[in-house]
Amino acid sequence: MTKNTVKSNISRSARLSVAPMMDWTDKHCRYLHRLLSGEALLYTEMVTAPALVRGGALHLLEFSPEEFPVALQLGGSNPVELAAAARLGQAAGYDEINLNCGCPSDRVQSGTFGAVLMKDPGRVAACVAEMRAAVDVDVTVKCRIGVDDQDPEEVLPEFLARIVAAGCERVTIHARKAWLQGLSPKENRDIPPLDYDLVHRMKGLFPNLHISINGGVTSLEQARTHLEGGLDGVMIGRAAYHQPADILSTADRDIFGRDHVSDPVDVVHAMLPYIEAHLSAGGRLHQISRHMLGLFAGRPGARAWRRHLSEGAARKQAGPELVEAALALVAMQPEARAG
């Protein structure tokens, strides 16, 4: 497969992506999501460049070949270090390297990366340029529309212009400002108002830039509205995690035009060999099953499914049979809607 073919495939997959989410989108979560959708682009949790380059934590790059297409999100602000981390990511097999310019947590700010980088577009551009020079895969950016007292109408176009000039061809914009002081990371996901119109206007200003929108999207219907409105992609976060089947089961058909719809019952059966292999390698069931709790959200038996997995998966001897027993409870539930 040629470099241009890989880029083309990734750009197509980016029509719908699952957001990088700390403590959530680990390799087990991504394996589950890939069984639900063969097309959507998946992202790792943020991995810091210092952890890879200085700490040698290459285990953070582990993933299954079945996860493709999959992107590595990096955190950092040192261009040389990020370039070195990007090389490690490409060597590990990732299809894309993404730079985090959107996370507002105190821990991230103290490392001078994440949303605080919105204040320094020159540094971000330097990082993108070094990373682009270091790898052949796409280098992308995830950002906010601005931070603190910045005027997004002014700062976002300048920010995008700088990273485009540095070689960035795809960007994901979380359509909220981030407040670096006074709001927690959770509050920063909910309290600052969404400005979808601003993100859509950026497509008019940067017609050759692949722009995905993120923030507050909770259904494929909303995603299609953004795509039909002219954006190139939609990134969904919490909804894709808490109700994965609702977002991903019909995504291949509804977003990508494939004749494929996944069944969460079939997905559970397909997870069993993966669970067996994880347990054989010394892992624990709850490390995987915690990502499966929302598979039947809103469907008959969802409550019984969640309860059985939650109560039993942490036990030392818990294995695939617990998952099969929980699945049997889904079929047994008479109620029309789960709680």
103 catalytically annotated: yes
Distance between CA 96 and CA 67 in Å, rounded?
13
Distance between CA 192 and CA 185 in Å, rounded?
11
Closest among 155, 141, 130 to 75, alpha carbons compared: 141
Closest among 33, 38, 46 to 239, alpha carbons compared: 33
Contacts of 322 (CB under 8 A, 6+ apart): 285, 289, 308, 309, 312, 313
Distance between CA 287 and CA 109 in Å, rounded?
28
For residues 37 and 246, is the Cβ–Cβ distance under 8 A?
Answer: no
Structural tokens at position 322: 């617990």
For residues 87 and 62, is the Cβ–Cβ distance under 8 A?
Answer: no
Distance between CA 270 and CA 119 in Å, rounded?
45
Residue at 198: amino acid letter: L
- 214: enclosing H helix or E strand: strand 210-214
> Which DSSP category does 52 fall into?
H
Bond prior to 207 in cis (omega within 30° of 0): no
Dmax (CA) of the chain: 59
Q: Which of 103, 127, 143, 168 is catalytic?
A: 103
Q: Annotated catalytic sites, by residue? A: 103
